[in-house]
Chains A and B, each alone.
Chain A
C-alpha cells in the first residue's frame, strides 16, 4: 500500500466514527522500489493531497528523507521537489503492517500490500 492510498482512506463508515481521518500506520515491512517519474502527474496530483497527512505519514514510517514540511512555491516547475513527492507517494510501499482508526483504535491489517478494510456487520 502506497502513501498516496493512505492519503485517501478513512474509517468514517464505521458506526460511531465521525471523521476517521487520517488513519494511523504501523508498518512492519516497508519496501522501496523505483517507479517511472511523471512530473506532470505529480504536479497535478499535489492539489488533491492532504499535504500534512502525507508528511506525517512519511515521518511515522521513517521515510521522510528530506521532504519539506510545507509545499514549495511554484512547485509545478521544481523538478527536484516533484521528485521527492513522487518518491514518498509512489515508491514507498507498505507490504505488511496495519492501519489504525484514530477514533476507535480498530486495526485494519495490511498483508502482501493489500489493506483489509472489511468491517463486521456489527461495526456498520
Chain B
C-alpha cells in the first residue's frame, strides 16, 4: 500500500524540525507494515514528539476513521504545526503540549510512534522546549528514549505496539535487551543508510498474549 506524502507548511514555525530522511523512513516503515497495522484494529494511536505531524498524518491516511489519533510535543510550536498539518490533509489529530506521555492514564494506546531525539550530545543540551529538543538525545542519544521506555509497558494496551526509530550509535541491541526484560519482542521493520547515519525502525510488541 502506498501512502501519499502529507502536505505541510512550516514557514511560520522556525522552531519545528523540518521533515528529513528519518521522518520519511518512518513513513516508509508504516507503509511496509500496513497490513499488520490494519489487522491490529487499533482504536487509539499516538505519536510522541510529533514535530511537523507528517508521520501521524500518514498513519491517519492509512487507518482513516477506524482509529483516533493523538500527538504530544514538549514544543508548543510543534503542537501547532502538527495540528496545521492534520488540517491541511483533512485528518484529525488531538495535539497536546506535554512531556512524552506524562499526562495520560495507563493502558490507553494500541500504537505508539516515536521518532526520538536520537543525536548523541552532551546531557546539558537536553533542556528547554525549542528546536534542540527534536534532536538532542544526550548520552548515547538515549536519554529521552530510555525515559519513554521506562513506562512504555504501562502505557500500551495488551495488544499495543511501539514503533521506535534508532540510530546505530544508540546501540539498538541494548534497547532490544531492555525491552526484552519488559517482556517485549521485536521486529526490525526497515533500515536505511543515509548520509552520516544508519537508521533502523523497530516494532516492539508483547511476548505473550495475556488471556483473561
Contacts and interface: CB of A to CB of B under 8 A. Distances in A.
Partners in one complex: yes
B66 interface: yes
B79 A114 contact: yes
B94 A48 contact: no
A8 B108 contact: yes
A1 B66 contact: no
Given A2-B94, A117-B98, A8 B80 contact: no
Nearest to B151: A13
A74 interface: no
A10 interface: yes
B94 A117 contact: no
Given A1-B94, A2-B94, A48-B44, A9 B83 contact: no
Interface string A4-37: 1100111101000000010000000000000110
Contacts of B44: 8, 48
Interface string B167-201: 00000000000000000000000000000000000
Interface residues of A, number: 28
A118 interface: yes
Interface in B135-165: none
B83 A45 contact: no
B121 interface: no
B129 A118 contact: yes
A115 B99 contact: no
A38 B104 CA distance: 25
A27 to B, nearest CB: 16
B143 to A, nearest CB: 16
B66 A9 contact: no
User: Which one of B67, B97, B99 has the highest number of Cβ atoms from chain A below 10 Å of its Cβ?
Assistant: B97
User: Which one of B44, B74, B102 has the highest number of Cβ atoms from chain A below 10 Å of its Cβ?
Assistant: B102
B94 A119 contact: no
User: Which one of A5, A8, A9, A11 has the highest number of Cβ atoms from chain B below 10 Å of its Cβ?
Assistant: A8
A18 B29 CA distance: 38
A116 interface: yes
B104 A9 contact: yes
Contacts of A13: 102-103
B120 interface: no
Nearest to A7: B105
B37 interface: no
B96 interface: yes
Contacts of A73: none
Contact of A114 (B92, B96, B99): B96
A117 B103 contact: yes
B95 A114 contact: yes
Closest 5 pairs between A and B when the two form their complex, measured CB to CB:
A117-B103, A117-B98, A13-B102, A38-B65, A116-B97
Interface of B: 41, 43-44, 65-68, 70, 74, 76, 79-80, 83, 92, 94-99, 102-105, 108, 129
Interface of A: 1-2, 4-5, 8-11, 13, 21, 35-36, 38, 40-41, 44-45, 48, 90, 112-119, 124
